Structure 1
């Protein structure tokens, strides 16, 4: 069970140079991701007179977030693991892949990165609104919660399979591509219903800058629950306690 591997961390971990560098990597990766993702939506609104809710706007958002997340995960992978998402960090903690103290450090960096990105966007665009995530008029908070749980489950399951599984081998660039693709696909699936956040930090930055908190809890509870389920399912079924030994070349 992954619960057996959950670790709090040492008292000096939060101030260790490696932990600080990892947190800075998460800060900059999140800034890159949110600036590109949120900025693409603002640009599309400006070009189409607030047409981001059209099918073309949804496709544009999907592509922008997929490409931006691919880059953000890639540039942070060798330093922090490229979480770029408090839900991914939480899932890694549940699976015993990161300590609680380092996870909290990541969370602080991720949330700050999102807020700074939105502030920069507001300044650079001459005061345009960084719109907070919101529900479609025919979608309830509980409907959106299910969407966020399922979509984040898919995201964190993909992260485990391509980046955190000790048996994965050297997948290289495949992990960031897969992670970016699943986020882009989920935006196509759920973007018209609740914006398809899957990432509490991505929701937090625009909410702070626009000071809009309606149904904001959905974008925290859903991703965290989905991440925890993905971590428990993948770790128990596909990782377990037994180590995986590859076949000897003499067996082929």
Structure 2
């Protein structure tokens, strides 16, 4: 499920970037952001009850650090997410051999330090929302997918033109590998991992004492 989710994210999200590039800006920033938000929303609905719907190594690492996810399973999750993202980028490469828009590879349009700061903040905001809806029984669980997809779309609206709004090392790795575009790639590993850790612990700080009762299915698998 984690591989399928990451695959769908790359095919739909990066596919939207390619479509926008090859069709004279038919989607624009708003359209691309909507695609990224929607694909995450539908895949959370599709796989939340099966794997927890991380689809993102930074999310898995942050959950493991905050003891919401077993460390022994994190490696398998991350491997699956990266494999799915690579498969998605490979499919796009097969369809677009001329590699338009570098197949959706994330490359900063600003200085490296600014790009790193953006990726940290974007991912922290996303992870704060994920932690709230996935680990706190007081949250409205049925709306988790909408909240998470909305956070991704929102981040993409204001961060997409700056860094590509990756928030996800696997999402960046797949297109980078397929297109051979590695410009400042480290930003898309360090930024999301640091940001996710900040986001999960920020919510732990403001939530206070954890509520009693069984954890939701999306938090501890």
Indicate the RMSD between aligned Cα atoms, in angstroms: 1.7
- CA shift, 1:109, in A, is 0.4
Query: How many equivalent residue pairs?
Result: 211
Q: Given the alignment, which residue of 196, 211, 215 partners 1:243? A: 211
Q: Does 1:185 align with 2:154?
A: yes
CA contact under 8 A between 2:62 and 2:197: conserved in structure 1? yes
Distance 1:243 1:171 in 2: 15
Question: What displacement does 1:239 show?
Answer: 4.4
Q: Please say if 1:82 is aligned against 2:50.
A: no
State the TM-score, normalized to the length of structure 2: 0.90
Aligned equivalents of 2:32, 2:169: Cα separation in 1: 17
Partners of 1:125 and 1:175 in 2: CA distance:
34
Cα distance between partner residues in 2 of 1:135 and 1:124:
25
5+ residue gaps, structure 2: 214-221
In structure 2, the partner of 1:134 is 107
Conserved 8 A contact 1:30-1:72 = no
Alignment partner of 1:164 out of 135, 142, 155: 135
For structure 1, the 5+ residue unaligned runs are 1-24, 246-252
Aligned to 1:17: none
> Could you tell me which residue of structure 1 aligns to residue 2 of structure 2?
26
Q: Which one has more relative contact order, counting CA pairs under 8 Å at least 6 apart?
A: 2
Rounded Cα–Cα distance in structure 2 between residues aligned with 1:47 and 1:163: 38
Q: 1:2-26 CA distances to partner (integer Å, 9 max, x unpaired)?
A: xxxxxxxxxxxxxxxxxxxxxxx10
List structure 1 runs of 4+ shifted beyond 2 angstroms.
124-129, 242-245
Q: TM-score, normalised by structure 1?
A: 0.79
| Residues 167 and 244 in structure 1, CA contact (< 8 A), matched pair in contact too | no
Correspondence for 1:222 = 191
Please give the secondary structure, in 2, of the residue aligned with 1:205: helix
Could you say what secondary structure the match of 1:146 adopts?
A: helix
**Alignment of 1:43 onto 2:12:** no
- How far apart, in 1, do the equivalents of 2:202 and 2:19 lie? 39
Query: CA separation in 2, counterparts of 1:186 and 1:155?
Result: 8
Which residue of the partner structure matches residue 93 of structure 1? 64
Q: Contact 2:172/2:188 (CA < 8 Å) preserved in 1?
A: yes
Residue 145, structure 1, aligned to residue 113, structure 2 = no
What's the counterpart of residue 117 of structure 1?
Answer: 88
CA distances 1:71-130 after superposition (whole Å, capped 9, x unpaired): 121111011101111111112111101111211111000011001001111112355341
Aligned to 1:108: 79
